[in-house]
Amino acid sequence: MNPQTPRERARAQTIADIIRLGRQQLVNHGAAALSLRAVARDLGVVSSAVYRYVANRDELLTLLLVDAYDELGDEVDAAVVSVPEDDHAGRFAALARAVRRWALREPARYSLLFGSPVPGYQAPAERTTEPGTRVIYAITGILDASYRAGAMAAGPEAAVPLPSALSADLEAIRSELGLAIPNGLLARGALVWTSLFGAVSFEVFGQYGADTFAARDELYEHHLQVLQALAGLV
């Protein structure tokens, strides 16, 4: 943790530089064009030298994955806490807007996180699970807080019986996260989660087409309203 030897400090600095340059390259040229050789060039070093710091291209990808997840998580968290704790719908909207804002500002990095998996690359779960689950944890946190506060709209969803295997999954999630929210609302939360990222992905990945939707801010805000209601928030 504390930089003991100067060599260790230099090494940490070099790794940080590699991540910085890799991120820069990701932003400018996209994920598939991410090249260790180019990073080496920018670093002013021969290509084989970077292998002293990064085992291979996949590990650099993992570092950039964690880096991006953390930045997204930080911005989402900051957006959420900027809204009063008891305004659950407002917190949800702030979260959703933060996700979209980051995605539109960082399309290449968003693609890395939520787009097609890079072929042949399997993200190591032990390093990416924790930063990669921050947003969904934030969503469930908001929903759970809303439920605990008695602010959940009691829609007809409680009446719909859930199949047993799905109930078991949801039960496991509830107990692992210590949630009070019932299964029906949690299942809705999962749908809201996927819908949120589905809308953002369609926009970032260009699925809307060039000129079908000009009023994309308004479209997203409209979707947010519907999703808030769907989640049972106020």
Cβ of residue 138: shortest distance to a copy of itself, in angstroms? Answer: 15
Cβ of residue 131: shortest distance to DNA, in angstroms? Answer: 22
105 CB-side CA count, 13 A: 10
Cβ of residue 89: shortest distance to DNA, in angstroms? Answer: 45
Q: Which is nearer to a copy of itself, 40 or 199 (CB)?
A: 199
* Binding range to DNA, per CB under 7 A, among 51-59, 143-151, 178-186, 187-195: 51-59
End-to-end CA distance of the chain: 45
Verify binding: residue 127, DNA, rule CB under 7 A. no
**CA pair distance 229, 218, nearest whole angstrom:** 17
* Binding range to DNA, per CB under 7 A, among 38-46, 67-75, 101-109, 171-179: 38-46
27 binds, among DNA, a copy of itself, none (CB under 5 to 8 A by kind): none
Residue 87 CB-density burial (10 A; 0-12 exposed, 13-18 middle, 19+ buried): middle
**CA pair distance 64, 19, nearest whole angstrom:** 6
Question: What's the Cα-to-Cα distance from 70 to each of 128, 141, 195, rounded to whole Å?
Answer: 10, 18, 22
Verify binding: residue 223, DNA, rule CB under 7 A. no
Cβ of residue 33: shortest distance to a copy of itself, in angstroms? Answer: 5
Residue 181 CB-density burial (10 A; 0-12 exposed, 13-18 middle, 19+ buried): buried
Which spans of this chain sit near DNA (rule: CB under 7 A)? 4-7, 10-11, 14, 34-38, 45-49, 51-53, 56-58
